[in-house]
């Protein structure tokens, strides 16, 4: 998030989103700006890193991918397709890989 500070009538104006009229400018007192800056200096690790955000995204997407693969496997099971066995083996292999990735991501996120 980008914040722009301007002095206005003894207070400070922070512009959060320049192109968004609703949040374009909000008036705050100077001591609030100082508190904000102090909190940012004290807790630089509170912001989620891009790497963590990517890991969380992958963890969420893996659940959806697993559900899609499960649905496909259920649809293939009753069929009489010649490649049915191959499709089932491939789907189960994909599900194993999804589970491995899920456990790895969960473990890594807990360590951070």
Note the pLDDT of residue 22.
56
**pLDDT tens digits, one per residue of 8-30:** 444 444 444 445 555 545 555 66
The greatest distance separating any two alpha carbons of the chain, rounded to the nearest whole angstrom, comes to 78
Query: If you ran DSSP here, which 8-state letter would residue 49 be given?
Result: P
The residue behind tokens 């293939």 is: 76
Pair 102, 69: CB distance under 8 Å: no
Q: Report d(CA 53, CA 107) in Å as an integer.
A: 15
Phi, psi of 23 (to 5 degrees): -110, 15
Checking if the pLDDT of 94 tops 60, the result is yes
Pair 27, 6: CB distance under 8 Å: no
Nearest Cα neighbor of 100 from 64, 59, 67 is 59
pTM to 2 decimals? 0.56
Provide the residue ranges of all domains of the chain, joining segments of one domain with +.
4-46, 50-111
């Amino acid at each position: 998030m980008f914040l722009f500070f301007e002095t206005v009538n003894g207070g400070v104006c922070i512009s959060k989103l320049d192109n968004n009229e609703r949040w374009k400018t909000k008036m705050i007192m100077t001591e609030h700006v100082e508190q904000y800056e102090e909190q940012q200096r004290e807790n630089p690790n509170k912001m989620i890193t891009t790497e963590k955000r990517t890991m969380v995204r992958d963890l969420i997407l893996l659940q959806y991918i697993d559900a899609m693969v499960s649905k496909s496997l259920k649809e293939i099971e009753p069929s009489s397709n010649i490649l049915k066995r191959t499709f089932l083996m491939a789907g189960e292999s994909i599900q194993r890989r999804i589970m491995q990735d899920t456990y790895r991501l969960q473990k890594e996120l807990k360590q951070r």
